[in-house]
């Protein structure tokens, strides 16, 4: 292994180093100068994005490069996902700073743990062997378990951390079990070698199929697809919104990468088997997610069920097994991440000193209180409902095109019908904001950087919709289209 190969993981080294630096720097900081921590964290993601973009590793039309004996891969898809993870992470840090300050929880461990989770996301995105997949996954999970329980005074937080931990460990166990079967059937941990082995020895190996089932369960758990979704509403509700911001966005990008690498690069020969599994998961997620969201009065739970239905759409894009479908799915997951941080950013905004906003009622009359923030939330809700010209529409459009292309018309029709049913609960939020009178007249005050980040986030949702061309092109070229 030479130096050039080692450099492929430069962004990962940088994030790891900075996570450690922040941990140490915090020890020498006085309470009133804690703000530096936030700046360092922002610096980390900005530079990570620059390093990722600047590093020109592709020579002579090679589409990807591997390092660490082939278990780490650097390719355009991974880079795009990482850069968007950094962008979303920057928004998360800005939103959560405000939250942590107003709840007196501004401690460096939040940023350290988040950066470790981000490192896990990066490793998972670049994982090319089952070992690396597991490593990345556990790094995310363990950091997030701790983050969910970040508020030591919150019984609900501890409870949901526990729930998440138990269910998450079980899912990891299933994944590991499936990996061991696949390893047993093919004799390799590296995804390309697994694919090669399946090609030569044939796909109708019962051990392999069993392994696949467990792997799909693990993937579905990470996405939170029905019937492996139980943890999502509880964790979203119990975790501090600053952590929910993270859980609902960046790890989904990594989960997409994991699903793509595992299912397409590794087990592509078994597509006929996993296609039907994903179809069932997708349909169930879209149906249950949308129906259950209608019943919720707690906005965090509502958004949790909405996540479930959105992940169903991501699966819809994955299941045709075409390059266009993967591109559509990737586009969807990036777009979802952007929308999701905006929605939880709004929840943080409305959380006044020491009281968290979690009921839909908290949005009542927002337009009277502050039309600017109401308009941003309006954009987010219409985007999630899939109304053009917001970016959420284009994401749905791409996925539908991929599904119809594969001749699965019924899947497309089911998806759109439930998307319309789902539109109801997004409209209900708009109704609270615009049609109702405010119950709480306290003015909404947020720091300038918070407002600017939220404005930028809203502008992305509208701007990436109206000028959707470039992001779609980037996603499609990642898959050679």
Partner 1 sequence: MNGTMNGFLLSILIWLPILGAVAVTLAGNQRPAVAKGLALLISAATFLLGLPLFFSFDTSTAAMQFVEYRPWIETFNIHYKLGVDGFSAPLILLTMLFGVLVVIAGWRSIQKNVNQYMAAFLVMEGLMIGVFAALDALLFYVFFEAMLIPMFLVIGIWGGPRRVYATIKFFLYTFLGSVFMLIGLIYLYIQSGTWDILAWHELPLSFTAQKWLFIGFLAAFAVKVPMFPVHTWLPDAHVEAPTGGSVVLAAIMLKIGGYGFIRFSLPITPDASAALDWLVIGLSLIAVVYIGFVALAQQDMKKLIAYSSISHMGFVTLGLFIAFSIYRKTGGVAGAALGVEGAMMQMISHGFISGALFLTVGVLYDRVHSRMIKDYGGVANTMPWFAMFAVFFLMANSGLPGTSGFVGEFMVILAAFQANFWFAFLAALTLILGAAYSLWLAKRVIFGAVVNHEVKSLKDVNSREVLVLGILAFAILFFGLWPQPLVDMMHASVDNLLQHIVQSKVI
Binding site for partner 1 (CB under 8 A): 367, 371, 382, 387-389, 393-394, 397-398, 400-401, 404-405, 409, 412-413, 416-417, 419-420, 423-424, 427-428, 430-431, 434-435, 468-469, 472-473, 476, 481
Whose CA is closest to 277, among 177, 388, 178? 178
We find the least distance from the C-beta atom of residue 360 to partner 1, in angstroms, to be: 13
Q: Which is nearer to partner 1, 268 or 389 (CB)?
A: 389
The first and second tokens of residue 51, run together, are: 């390093």
Q: What is the DSSP string of 272-298?
A: HHHHHHHHHHHHHHHHHHHHHHHH--B
We find the least distance from the C-beta atom of residue 375 to partner 1, in angstroms, to be: 8
Q: Which is nearer to partner 1, 190 or 398 (CB)?
A: 398
We find the least distance from the C-beta atom of residue 470 to partner 1, in angstroms, to be: 9
Q: Which is nearer to partner 1, 199 or 410 (CB)?
A: 410
Contact call for residues 219 and 262 (beta carbons, < 8 A): yes
Contact call for residues 75 and 8 (beta carbons, < 8 A): no
Distant-in-sequence contacts of 15-18, Cβ < 8 A, 24+ apart: 15/44, 15/48, 15/115, 15/118, 15/119, 15/122, 16/119, 18/43, 18/44, 18/115
CB neighbourhood size of 424 (10 A):
13
We find the least distance from the C-beta atom of residue 387 to partner 1, in angstroms, to be: 6
Chain Cα centroid distance, residue 230: 17
Q: Which is nearer to partner 1, 20 or 417 (CB)?
A: 417
We find the least distance from the C-beta atom of residue 170 to partner 1, in angstroms, to be: 37
Q: Which is nearer to partner 1, 262 or 324 (CB)?
A: 324
Residue 363 is given by DSSP the state G
Q: Which residues contact 470 (CB under 8 A, 6 or more apart)?
A: none
Classified as helix, coil or strand, 74 is strand
Q: Which residues contact 251 (CB under 8 A, 6 or more apart)?
A: 117, 121, 140, 144, 222
We find the least distance from the C-beta atom of residue 84 to partner 1, in angstroms, to be: 18
Q: Which is nearer to partner 1, 236 or 394 (CB)?
A: 394
Whose CA is closest to 464, among 472, 474, 454? 472
Q: Which is nearer to partner 1, 26 or 405 (CB)?
A: 405
Q: Which is nearer to partner 1, 135 or 427 (CB)?
A: 427
We find the least distance from the C-beta atom of residue 378 to partner 1, in angstroms, to be: 8
Q: What is the DSSP string of 130-165?
A: HHHHHHHHHHHHHHHHHHHT-STT-HHHHHHHHHHH
Provide the greatest CA pair distance for the chain: 69
We find the least distance from the C-beta atom of residue 416 to partner 1, in angstroms, to be: 4
Whose CA is closest to 248, among 311, 189, 193, 171? 311
Q: Which is nearer to partner 1, 36 or 473 (CB)?
A: 473
We find the least distance from the C-beta atom of residue 374 to partner 1, in angstroms, to be: 10
């Amino acid at each position: 292994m030479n130096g050039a190969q080692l450099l492929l993981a430069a962004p990962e080294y940088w994030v790891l180093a900075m996570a450690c630096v922040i941990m140490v720097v915090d020890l020498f900081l006085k309470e009133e100068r804690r703000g530096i921590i936030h700046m360092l964290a922002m610096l980390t993601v900005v530079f990570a994005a620059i390093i990722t973009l600047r590093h020109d590793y592709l020579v002579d039309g090679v589409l990807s490069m591997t390092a660490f004996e082939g278990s780490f891969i650097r390719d355009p898809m991974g880079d795009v996902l990482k850069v968007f993870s950094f962008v979303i992470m920057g928004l998360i840090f800005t939103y959560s700073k405000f939250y942590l300050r107003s709840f007196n929880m501004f401690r460096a461990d939040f940023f350290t743990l988040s950066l470790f989770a981000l490192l896990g996301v990066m490793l998972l995105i670049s994982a090319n062997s089952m070992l690396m997949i597991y490593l990345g996954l556990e790094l995310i999970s363990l950091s997030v378990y701790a983050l969910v329980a970040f508020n030591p005074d919150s019984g609900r937080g501890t409870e949901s951390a526990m729930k998440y931990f138990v269910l998450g460990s079980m899912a990891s166990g299933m994944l590991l079990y499936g990996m061991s079967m696949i390893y047993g059937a093919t004799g390799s941990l590296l995804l390309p070698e697994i694919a090669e082995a399946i090609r030569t020895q044939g796909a109708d190996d019962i051990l392999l199929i069993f392994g696949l089932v467990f792997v799909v369960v693990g993937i579905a758990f990470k996405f939170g697809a029905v019937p492996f979704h139980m943890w999502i509403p509880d964790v979203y509700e119990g975790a501090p919104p600053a952590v929910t911001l993270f859980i609902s966005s960046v790890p989904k990008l990594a989960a997409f990468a994991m699903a793509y690498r595992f299912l397409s690069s590794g087990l592509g020969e078994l597509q006929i088997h996993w296609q039907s599994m994903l179809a069932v998961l997708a349909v169930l997620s879209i149906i249950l997610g949308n129906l259950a969201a209608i019943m919720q009065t707690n906005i965090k739970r509502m958004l949790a069920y909405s996540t479930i239905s959105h992940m169903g759409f991501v699966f819809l894009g994955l299941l045709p097994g075409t390059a266009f479908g993967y591109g559509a799915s990737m586009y969807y997951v990036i777009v979802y991440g952007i929308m999701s941080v905006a929605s939880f950013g709004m929840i943080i905004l409305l959380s006044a000193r020491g009281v968290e906003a979690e009921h839909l009622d908290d949005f009542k009359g927002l337009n009277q209180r502050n039309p600017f923030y109401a308009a941003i939330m309006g954009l987010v809700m219409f985007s999630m409902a899939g109304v053009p010209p917001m970016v959420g529409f284009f994401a749905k459009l791409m996925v539908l095109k991929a599904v119809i292309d594969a001749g699965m018309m019924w899947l497309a029709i089911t998806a759109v019908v439930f998307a319309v049913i789902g539109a109801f609960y997004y409209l209900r939020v708009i109704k609270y904001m615009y049609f109702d009178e405010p119950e709480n007249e306290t003015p909404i005050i947020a720091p300038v950087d918070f407002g600017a980040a939220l404005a930028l986030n809203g502008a992305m949702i509208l701007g990436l919709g109206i000028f959707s061309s470039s992001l779609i092109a980037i996603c499609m070229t990642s898959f050679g289209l």
